[in-house]
């Protein structure tokens, strides 16, 4: 497996692979790879001839008070995990390779899907996501791109972006990977203390309660170390609010602060 840090070099590698009749899988990440990322890489490696993992902490999707400076970074560990999972290339560009002049004046905005939930709490976040994903799609060329359902709203945004801008990319959603106690794997779990880690299971417990018709908010309120940001029942395609979960397919989405760490999770629900 090779590690590349220049756009032209990655384009050359992937264009060469396609010229040989090989298929390309793309796994965009911000590093701090864990078993959830591993599952994406393994699926790409199983379905595609060449898998490239991108490792780039995208500054465009962090707000002024968010954790860009402290976001976990360990390229050596990321490269080792990617290699073990079956990746062929790691693309780990420095910020000045992706954005030579700093934040670009050209950005990508996906209306509608981005206006509630994470979009309401983190203004500008999805414009940052959409802009860097569009750039990665343009660099990678025709491929299958693998994203986790844990960031469900992001997955829908990326699918809409690819469809509306006619990128030759098949966006593949992959199931959330969880710890045995239900906590969704996330790079930000590393911020949790031992007590906070135990408390963090409240997100999944709340989703389970919501799937059974109970109150997600009440479950979170009962956990002293948790503070609810939002708990919503939404249409799984449009994210429009739904009144209930029993009569329609739905997606339950939740965000909560556990101490100083903000976590998100979601769960699909089918009619009884």
**Residues with catalytic annotation?**
37
Phi and psi of 11, rounded to 5°?
Answer: -55, -45
Closest-CA residue to 229 (of 190, 263, 266): 263
- Under a CB-based contact definition with an 8 Å cutoff, are residues 258 and 269 in contact? no
- Rounded to whole angstroms, how far apart are CA atoms 91 and 93? 6
- Rounded to whole angstroms, how far apart are CA atoms 7 and 92? 10
Distances (CA, A) of 192 to 140, 196, 233: 35, 5, 27
Structure tokens at 13: 């590698």
Structure tokens at 142: 């025709």
SS percent in the chain: helix, strand, coil, step 5: 40, 20, 40
Closest-CA residue to 134 (of 14, 18, 26): 26
- Under a CB-based contact definition with an 8 Å cutoff, are residues 150 and 176 in contact? yes
Structure tokens at 211: 């799937």
Closest-CA residue to 250 (of 265, 260, 262, 239): 239
């Amino acid at each position: 497996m090779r590690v590349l840090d220049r756009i032209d070099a990655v384009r050359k590698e992937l264009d060469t692979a396609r010229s040989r009749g090989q298929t390309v899988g793309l796994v965009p990440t911000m590093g701090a790879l864990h078993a959830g990322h591993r599952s994406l890489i393994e699926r790409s490696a199983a379905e595609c001839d060449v898998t490239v993992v991108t490792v780039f902490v995208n500054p465009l999707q962090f707000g002024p008070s968010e954790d860009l400076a402290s976001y976990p970074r360990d390229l050596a560990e990321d490269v080792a995990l990617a290699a073990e999972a079956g990746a062929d290339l790691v693309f780990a560009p420095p910020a000045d390779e992706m954005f030579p002049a700093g934040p670009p004046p050209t950005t990508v905005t996906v209306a509608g899907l981005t206006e509630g939930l994470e979009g309401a709490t983190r203004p500008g976040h999805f414009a940052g996501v959409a802009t860097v994903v569009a750039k990665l799609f343009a660099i990678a060329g025709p491929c299958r791109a693998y994203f986790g359902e844990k960031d469900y709203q992001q997955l829908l945004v990326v699918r809409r972006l690819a469809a509306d801008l006619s990128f030759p990319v098949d966006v593949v959603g992959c199931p959330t990977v969880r710890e045995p106690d239900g906590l969704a794997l996330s790079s930000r779990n590393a911020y949790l203390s031992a007590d906070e880690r135990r408390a963090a299971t409240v997100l999944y417990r709340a989703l389970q309660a919501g799937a059974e018709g109970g109150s997600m908010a009440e479950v979170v309120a009962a956990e002293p170390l948790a503070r609810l940001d939002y708990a919503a029942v939404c249409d799984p395609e449009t994210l429009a609010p739904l009144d209930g979960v029993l009569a329609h397919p739905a997606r339950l989405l939740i965000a909560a602060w556990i101490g100083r760490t903000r976590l998100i999770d979601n769960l699909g629900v089918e009619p009884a």
